[in-house]
């Protein structure tokens, strides 16, 4: 299975939200990374066939998804950034409603709903109204609806938002299990979620694809350029003026900072192993959301 994005552009009122993106995706997990406004959601909505490209085309195994139409949509599971729940629906009623929209039979839907409620640790909330759910419970329910039709292409926009660290670990393990024969595309600001499971990372900046590589390869760019140092708190403005400064930890009247620099920023700085958060800082000049 091969999903091809061929010179795809999407414009709004003359501005390109996605600008001439070309790449090929095969089964595995892909991390779509970039700052707000980079075009991630627009690209994912085109892959989910919610939006049409202004230019270019998307094909599956060489056939345009416009031609495939419903046959393509039957293969997709999609979690938008805002799932738009009906607060008066119960979890099971919502999933039955979504199953009907996906053309699933009642018996098949009931079996699948029970499986997914167990998988998402929502069995006890099956008959509870969604309006009483926490943010994390709503997110897990949204993931469940994306998995209802056992999709071959899974498109998830910020799926770990609202999940606690334990839930995120379970979700990462789930995606790794699912990815064997599926194309899984995940947009996230929590970069650590991608480091251990992404087959490739796609860096998107101002609508353009600036990098598509395996995490191990992309990290090599920063070999010998990531440092940790200790400094006084009042030295932070000067550090941020001179260097790319990532994670900062306050220690009384001092601090520890992670810095990207070709040379040691100060004599006592120690080299650190590059992480994807450092790559984010290197390409986008800002720190992504922390896991803490």
> What is the arithmetic mean of pLDDT over 195-202?
88
> What is the arithmetic mean of pLDDT over 234-250?
90
Q: How confident is the model at residue 286 (pLDDT cuts 50, 70, 90)?
A: low
Q: Which of 42-51, 212-221, 227-236 has the highest mean pLDDT?
A: 42-51
Q: Is the pLDDT of residue 289 over 70?
A: no
What is the structure's pLDDT at 290? 43
Q: Which runs of consecutive H residues, i.e. helices, occur in the chain? A: 40-47, 65-68, 70-73, 91-101, 106-119, 135-147, 165-178, 192-195, 215-219, 236-242, 276-284
- Digit-coded pLDDT (tens) for 66-92: 999 999 999 999 999 888 788 899 999
> What is the arithmetic mean of pLDDT over 22-49?
94
Q: Is the pLDDT of residue 272 over 70?
A: yes
| Dihedral, CA of residue 274, residue 278, residue 279 and residue 280, to nearest 10 | 160
Q: How many CA atoms lie within 13 A of 269 on its CB side?
A: 21
Give the count of beta carbons closer than 10 Å to the beta carbon of residue 98: 21
Write out the two tokens for 162: 């609202």
Average pLDDT along the chain? 90
Write out the two tokens for 73: 């949509």
> What is the arithmetic mean of pLDDT over 101-124?
92
What is the structure's pLDDT at 202? 95
What is the structure's pLDDT at 8? 97
- Digit-coded pLDDT (tens) for 3-22: 999 999 999 988 999 999 99
What is the structure's pLDDT at 181? 87
What CATH code is assigned to 3-219? 3.40.50.300
What is the structure's pLDDT at 287? 52
Query: Nearest to residue 215, comparing CAs of 286, 274, 288, 161?
Result: 274
Domain ranges of the chain: 3-219, 223-284
């Amino acid at each position: 299975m091969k999903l091809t994005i061929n010179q795809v552009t999407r414009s709004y009122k003359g501005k390109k939200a996605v600008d001439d993106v070309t790449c090929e995706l095969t089964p595995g997990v892909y991390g779509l990374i970039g700052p707000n406004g980079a075009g991630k959601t627009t690209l994912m909505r085109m892959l989910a066939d919610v939006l049409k490209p202004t230019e270019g085309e998307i094909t599956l195994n060489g056939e345009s998804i416009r031609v495939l139409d419903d046959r393509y949509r039957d293969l997709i599971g999609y979690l938008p950034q805002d799932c738009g729940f009906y607060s008066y629906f119960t979890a099971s009623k919502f999933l039955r409603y979504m199953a009907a929209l996906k053309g699933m039979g009642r018996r098949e839907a009931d079996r699948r709903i029970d499986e997914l409620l167990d998988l998402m640790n929502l069995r006890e909330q099956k008959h509870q109204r969604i309006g009483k759910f926490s943010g994390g419970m709503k997110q897990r329910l949204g993931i469940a609806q994306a998995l209802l039709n056992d999709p071959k292409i899974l498109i998830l926009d910020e799926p770990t938002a609202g999940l606690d660290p334990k839930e995120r670990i379970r979700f990462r393990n789930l995606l790794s299990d699912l990815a064997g024969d599926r194309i899984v595309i995940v947009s996230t600001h929590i970069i650590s979620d991608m480091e251990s499971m992404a087959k490739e990372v796609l860096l998107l900046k101002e609508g353009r694809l600036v990098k598509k590589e395996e995490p191990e390869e992309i990290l090599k760019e920063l070999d010998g350029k990531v440092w940790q140092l200790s400094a006084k708190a009042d030295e932070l403005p000067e550090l941020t003026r001179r260097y790319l400064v990532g994670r900062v930890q306050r220690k009384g009247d001092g601090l520890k900072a992670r810095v990207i620099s070709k040379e040691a920023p100060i004599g006592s700085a120690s080299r650190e192993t590059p992480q994807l958060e450092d790559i984010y800082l290197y390409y986008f000049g800002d720190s992504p959301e922390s896991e803490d």
